[in-house]
Structure 1
């Protein structure tokens, strides 16, 4: 069970994924860069929200478009992969903020416990204890208040499409207990709900909170009974398979639960102050992060020396949050103010609220001297180089990806370990690759800033075998 590559889109917006059953509508609001979904459910007059992201303007737009009044905001759990917008949304709208009574939070909330039901217009929402992702995780069953028919379940980080939420985010001491809770919770949902009940998880669309990934965009309890390992494997088999497939997860997760337990306020998305080239150079010399938001192709062609490339066309916030030393000032460089605004929106979702500065335009406007650059290449180019001179192949994919298949002789330093393992990168001409090029460009920007001579492979790893490059599998 390996974690797959993250989606490439950057911002997330209200989707067209709205489903109406018995006059009750559920709208899915995607945040594809983090691999999560929030939900708005309504009966045409009143609504509730499940697991809202930090930038609640998207939720407010969906409510306005549906012309419904928000009365309740529900959290399935204290989230580990993003800063919630639930507290701020409830305060802004006057809705009740419904959080498990067992969660240790520092704000006033409407407590709820296993088996309790909330009536919202023609909707009934029943809390079900489904521990596994966390000890206090709840799922919420949506029923028609008139017919009592169970229509859907909002399963948070419990039962996902073809998977379950990972059980190891609270630390090694709890993983063995949580993974067995997770299996039991999935079984509970399957036993209590009809096969045609719609499944609406929060994670599982690229989120590292998911144990594995699925390409499914919708599912039901009945479908999951035939395909989900938590429902098709016995407990011991499920436990061993899941634990054997867990890989690394972003370091910034450690900061999310404490922030969510404190009740995060609505973020400020106004642009920070502008920085000129002299200030940018000073910030780089002071060890701050100057983040170039452009594509890897544009960055490679010319950039401010010492800047780092986290393009908006990839999992920008996930990898920046994973690599940065928490609290390091960040300055954003974008071609337009809209690009900087998109980046800010991504960053507030993981708790980086106030960029130090920004600049727009292009590298000629950001640099008071010569631009830096490095070449891009394909795997065919790498094959040619290896046949004619000694080069170092640096594979920055995660370890589990390398186990599945890698170039013989390549040095594996996963991107998230790069800063701590710079001494493990051999001397010589570096050819850096990942699965598609995004992570390779981040690594190239880091190593180029450190003075290394390198080439970034901007190609899909699936093409490596077609070039004749020798591939091996198993532990590096």
Structure 2
């Protein structure tokens, strides 16, 4: 038995290769699925099984693409009622993959239809050795049960039963392979460690040590981070069966005047994926700024209108292609084309641009000390803001600016700050769409402010996934 993990950064998604000598299964594949075919070829195995644990909310699954390319059979929860051909699985069902027996546990809680796969390697013994638990159990955390309106307490109770009556009954030595790690919004406080064992989680997982059902439910139904807009869309797309990538139109190359004409149409919008400093220097008026070095797919799924065509501004073709891959991971398939020659071609064509002046930590501190800040908007999550924020800063998380911009006065000078400068640039682009012009972005954000010695270090901002507004247990 061979297990190999594939970790997709930014969406913090883990998928898996489960192989024997000649055949293998892929568990919870990502949409750009060629990576699994390449590894199977290297291993000398054939992909025969595609196993889905549940209807994923935060990304588009690659089950349809992988099945088309390999001829493998898709397996998934019976109660998911997929709109395509698959093998429906229920509690107690089992099947074989060479020397391995794969048994199904129904583990609802994160979602109503969730199942987990228990693996027994009969060449070693009769005791379960691995659990592919999807989003039921994570390292240091459990799946959030609040993604279905009005059902949070019901699903939290079911999650309690799934964990205590099924998963924790497995041997302590059984290895667990979850579908997400730190940085995902499918849980609240996942550890950076990507795999674990049942025994380790029994000892160190805070949720598994909440043995009182009511306390467990309360813990998972209060203070959870916000759920991005695309979570509901991805669930529906995965049930329906995503469009295959091969069937999507190619990325068009657009000259400045053609790009400008298309951008003026209400059926399109401009997405600038360059770093936030470049956006601040020159950008196309009305463009969204989502730095590709930030948690790009999640914020794109959260902030962008899915019903419109996307026009990309990038540093070049390769960056536009990478942006397209990440956009498709969250179900944003309407990518029309990119600006050939980037902003250099745009400005040399004599077309108009916008700007967002960038303030350094020192410039901000000087303004704060002199009382020259009219409005300071902290666009980080509530938990980050509560951990440490600047005096008189107003907290409006970046996604909330789409509606809460009415709380701000476009006539006043407004400075935006986040952990690094990325989310605040997103916020500036949203406000500019609402006719705010007196905007400044703090380059380096709270991390830079702390590094300059003007405030304590924010432990959340310093994390490698800090551009992702997760709820922390470090408070």
Residue 369 of structure 2 corresponds to: 387
Residue by residue, what CA displacement relative to the aligned partner does 1:5-45 show, whole Å, maximum 9, x if unpaired? xxxxxxxxxxxxxxxxxxx1111111112121111110232
Match 2:417 to one of 421, 424, 433: 433
Q: Deviations over 1:171-225 (max 9, x none)?
A: 2x21111111112212234433211211100023322111323222321111101
The answer as to 2:248 corresponding to 1:248 is no
Which aligned pairs between 1:26-425 and structure 2 lie closer than 5 A? Answer: 26-146=3-123, 147-171=125-149, 173-234=150-211, 235-268=213-246, 271-287=250-266, 288-367=268-347, 368-388=350-370, 389-425=372-408
1:50: Cα distance to partner?
0.6
CA 1:384–1:351: 2 relative to 1, 3 Å:
same
Separation of aligned partners in 2, 1:68 and 1:456:
52
**C-alpha separation between the residues in 1 aligned to 2:53 and 2:201?**
20
User: Deviation string for 1:216-264 (max 9, x for gaps)?
Assistant: 2321111101111232112222222222230211111121121111122
What is the deviation of 1:380?
3.2
Whole-Å Cα distance in 1 between the matches of residues 447 and 184 of structure 2? 23
Task: Report deviation, 1:385.
Answer: 1.0
Contact 1:158 1:165 in 2 (8 A): yes
Q: Secondary structure at the match of 1:353?
A: coil
Matches of 1:88 and 1:436 in 2, distance apart?
A: 36
Check the 8 A contact 2:420/2:448 in 1, yes or no.
no
Q: Verify the 8 A CA contact 2:373 2:415 in the aligned structure 1.
A: no
SS at match of 2:79: coil
Structure 2: runs of 5 or more not aligned: 459-475
How many Å apart are 1:424 and its aligned residue?
1.5
Helix, strand or coil at the partner of 1:406 = coil
Change (3 A) 1:392 1:469: farther
Shift of 1:270: 6.0
Deviation at 1:155, TM superposition (A): 0.6
1:467 shift after superposition: 4.6
Q: How many residues align?
A: 448
Output the CA distance in 2 between the equivalents of 1:277 and 1:351: 27
Say whether the 8 Å CA contact 2:131–2:176 is kept in structure 1. yes
Deviations along 1:290-330, one digit per CA (max 9) or x if unpaired, are 11221112222222233222121111121111112221221
Q: 5+ unaligned residues in a row in structure 1: which ranges?
A: 1-23
Question: After alignment, is 156-165 or 268-277 more displaced?
Answer: 268-277
Would the aligned equivalents of 2:229 and 2:303 in 1 still touch at CA under 8 Å? yes
3-state SS of 1:125 partner: strand
* Bigger mean CA offset, 390-399 vs 276-285: 276-285
Match of 1:4?
Answer: none
Q: Is the 8 A contact 2:256 2:339 kept in 1?
A: no
Contact 2:416 2:440 in 1 (8 A): yes
Contact 1:131 1:178 in 2 (8 A): yes
Q: Normalising by structure 1, report the TM-score.
A: 0.89
Instruction: Give the Cα separation in 1 of the matches to 2:41 and 2:443.
Output: 43
